[in-house]
Amino acid sequence: MREEHKWRLLLTAGRGYGVDAPHGDSPPVSPGQGGRPRRGLAGTVVLTPYGPSPGVPGAGAACVGMVLVAERHSRRGLGRRLVRHALEESGDATVFLFATGPGRPLYEKLGFVPVVSVDMLTGHFSCPCPGGADGHASDAGVIVRAATAADLPAVRALDAAAFGLDRSHLLVRLPSFADHFAVAVSGDRITGYAAAWPNGRATVIGPVVAGDRATAQALTARLASRAAGPVRFDAYTHHRELASWLRAHGLDGGFLCTLMVHGAPGTPMDPDRCFAPYSVALG
């Protein structure tokens, strides 16, 4: 399965729900296997909970992802049932998700409202200034190095302030989930972080959280230059200069996803400091 690596993260950090395919759709038993036919899935959804930022009251939030319906079961209302189930399971929490164009009408009918979009950019990254070795500054003077275990408390604090929610349960998994995990530093202070992880044939760069665009670019350059193949970067569309920089260095796209929210007018995310989501299945 091309996305097995991501699925392992989703099902350990969140809660997965599936709908069994009818018996008539079960794959046949191979000769010599014996036993009953294997059951397939007609649809899936994953709900990932987030707590509020430290010191912020509230019920937190949850992300709905991987709303998938097998083609042979489409147009039967199964996707709607899966999302409604996720909403019921989330209780009083604000719920958000990333919607593709075809899925957006369904989510709007269920009460989700659009907030911001991401442009999925992919390609082979080419840059004359790939970020350099640890401790060496980029052209913009940003110092980037590999993250260590000692950096995690500062990364969690930076992320909570930027993302507006507590996603510590995902951040502590970054060292094992990501191929590369880097931080930007100024003196003894961490000013940004980013990770790169495998997904199918591409290396996804995300999350990217930084105090400014120059820091986000330095982090991205370091990680993208180390990718063996194509790179994918889900760029928030309000960061136009970052997207232009990525396009100038080999990435291209045009496939848009829209961040939508249910139960609140928006998300607590600071749009100026969040440059790429962890994943469109996680926010």
CA gap 121, 144 in Å, rounded: 23
pLDDT at 221: 94
> 15: closest CA among 48, 62, 61, 64?
48
Is residue 50 within 8 A of residue 84, CB to CB? The reply is no
CA gap 100, 80 in Å, rounded: 15
Is residue 174 over pLDDT 60?
yes
Across 81-91, average pLDDT: 95
CA gyration radius, the chain: 20
Instruction: Name the more confident of 26 and 231.
Output: 231
Instruction: Name the more confident of 28 and 263.
Output: 263
Which tens digits make up the pLDDT trace of 116-134? Answer: 999 999 999 997 654 545 5
Is residue 171 over pLDDT 60?
yes
pLDDT at 57: 66
Across 234-259, average pLDDT: 95
pLDDT at 162: 96
Mean pLDDT (the chain) is 88
pLDDT at 97: 97
> 2: closest CA among 179, 199, 178?
199
